[in-house]
Amino acid sequence: MNRRDAREKAFQALFQMDVNDMEPEDAIQHVLDEGDDPFLLGLVHGVKKNRANVDETITDHMENWTISRLPRVERTILRIAVYEMVYNEDIPHEVAINEAVELAKLFGEEKSGSFVNAVLSRINKQ
């Protein structure tokens, strides 16, 4: 599985965890057809493990929003991207931002991509 596909599956698993309060293993198995992908597993477990710090980073860079007010799609996408930017040194920030914007265009509303881009750009400038 390539990294873009792994990000999509990670988004779906993390979204399931947020909506249904699932454990990571159950959510991953729910979205995978077969096998495991190390990148996907790293994203899902990494976001879950570091969620408090990731959410704090997101909140610190939003204007007039709190993490709890965000729609689940945007919140999940931002969590993946911030995790990659902060905890995954082999992913350039620009790649994490671009991939997040693409996920937002795929799964979000019309303006989701620009919102995600704005928040992540603020974080990247830090």
For residues 94-111, give the mean pLDDT. Answer: 94
Q: Characterize 29-51 residue by residue with b for buried, 16 or more Cβ atoms within 10 angstroms of its Cβ, and e for exposed.
A: eebbeeeebebbbbbbebbbebb
Tell me the pTM.
Answer: 0.90
pLDDT digits (tens, 9 = 90+) for 49-101: 999 999 999 999 988 888 989 999 999 999 999 999 999 999 999 999 999 99
**CATH number of the domain to which 12 belongs:** 1.10.940.10
Rounded Cα distance, 45 and 25, in Å? 9
Domain of residue 74, residue span: 3-125
Per the structure, the count of domains in the chain is 1
Asked if residue 35 has pLDDT above 70, the reply is: no
Residue-level pLDDT at 79:
97
Rounded Cα distance, 102 and 55, in Å? 21
Rounded Cα distance, 65 and 119, in Å? 11
Residue-level pLDDT at 9:
92
Segments of the chain assigned E as strands: none
Tokens 């019309």 correspond to 110
Asked if residue 34 has pLDDT above 80, the reply is: no
Percent over 90 (pLDDT), the chain:
72
Backbone angles phi, psi at 110, to 5 degrees: -55, -40
CA-to-CA separations, 91 to 6, 60, 66, 77, in angstroms, rounded: 14, 22, 26, 16
For residues 12-18, give the mean pLDDT. Answer: 92
